[in-house]
Amino acid sequence: MSFTNTTLKQILLPAALLVLISLADTFAQGLFQRVPSPRRYQHEMLSNGARIADGYYRLGVENLRDPSNSNRAVEHLERAVELDESNAEYHYMLAEAYLANYQFAGIVRMPFIAPKVKNHLELAVKYSPRTVEYREALAQYYAMAPAILGGSYQRAYEQAGEIAKLDPYLGLLAHAGVYAEEGEGEKALTAYRKAMRMRPEAWQAYQRLGAHYLSLQEIDRAIEMFRRYVDAAPEHAESYHHLGRAYQQKRMYNEAIAAFQKALDKDPSITPLVFRIAQLYEFQGNVRQARDYYQRYLSMVPSGRAADDARIKVKELTR
């Protein structure tokens, strides 16, 4: 699931616009680091039309790996949905693409993004009601969005209740997330801790509680939770990415770089982390390493907004 923790509350009002940015950020925290590989379909069993739709879907998912390519992701995934309107995964990933594209949208387009996200999440749940990740994303939207954009704590709790029917552990975490958004901090912590006792070997509670602490600027506690996330899921690139983000906020830049590099070792396709490492080296004044990582990024992603920025940086750091 990509919608685990990121941004959405603002569009028609200055305050609403900020919330949309926040929701987009929350969802985006893990989006580009853990965009799933395209779902495996039995390609030979698909009709010609479905194969074309599947092709657009795969192109869209691939472009979502880099935020600077989110425009292309939106175009491809919109086409996939047009060709196969009842495919829940297409709707879900299109909602992700809209959120990823928010930071690049012009002021005219911004107010129209949130309703599209909501619509496609609701359609994903409609066409695949037993898929927990779709309901988790919709619950998060309802909890984070202002009422003017369709937000509703009641609806968020309803989704959390449906998730609990499918998986009590994940349902508990969904309730914790809604409690946190509603300002019920103690209830949220109680639910997170109960989940950790329920499945101490599972990673999701550590990841989500860590993200919760990070949002509260309780960085040391976030680091502790993300370390436990790494222990529970050492093969997950995302676990190291979350830990690196916490280290970065703590201004522990060497540790952040090491964690991001570990994430890249687990999944070399996470190209935004190459750019992030370059930025951290540049911030530290390590010109050679910064230039090398910007060049490495360009070798992996030769086009796009971030690639243009990387070229400028390489020139500046070569002077």
> Which pLDDT value is given to residue 23?
55
CA distance 269 to 219: 28
> Which pLDDT value is given to residue 319?
79
pLDDT digits (tens, 9 = 90+) for 192-246: 999 999 999 999 999 999 999 999 999 999 999 999 999 999 999 999 999 999 9
Q: Considering the entire predicted model, what is its pTM?
A: 0.82
**Residue 55 · residue 87 · CB < 8 Å:** no
> Which pLDDT value is given to residue 258?
99
Compute the chain's Rg from CA coordinates.
19
Average pLDDT, the chain: 88
Among all chains, which residue has been given the structure tokens 């919709």? 138
Among all chains, which residue has been given the structure tokens 């390609």? 43
> Residue 67 pLDDT > 90, yes or no?
no
> Which pLDDT value is given to residue 1?
41
pLDDT digits (tens, 9 = 90+) for 162-192: 999 999 999 999 999 999 999 999 999 999 9
Q: How crowded is the C-beta side of 318, counted as CA atoms within 13 Å?
A: 10
> Which pLDDT value is given to residue 25?
52
Binned at pLDDT 50, 70 and 90, residue 7 comes out as: very low
For the CA atoms of 251, 253, 257, 263, the dihedral, rounded to the nearest 10 degrees, stands at: -20
> Residue 95 pLDDT > 70, yes or no?
yes
> Residue 31 pLDDT > 60, yes or no?
no
Angle at the Cα of 30 from the Cα atoms of 99 and 225, rounded to 5 degrees: 140
Binned at pLDDT 50, 70 and 90, residue 5 comes out as: very low
CATH number for 1-131 (one of 1.10.10, 1.25.40, 3.30.310, 1.10.357): it is 1.25.40
Binned at pLDDT 50, 70 and 90, residue 12 comes out as: very low
> Which pLDDT value is given to residue 4?
44
- Listed by start position, the domains of the chain span 1-131
Binned at pLDDT 50, 70 and 90, residue 15 comes out as: very low
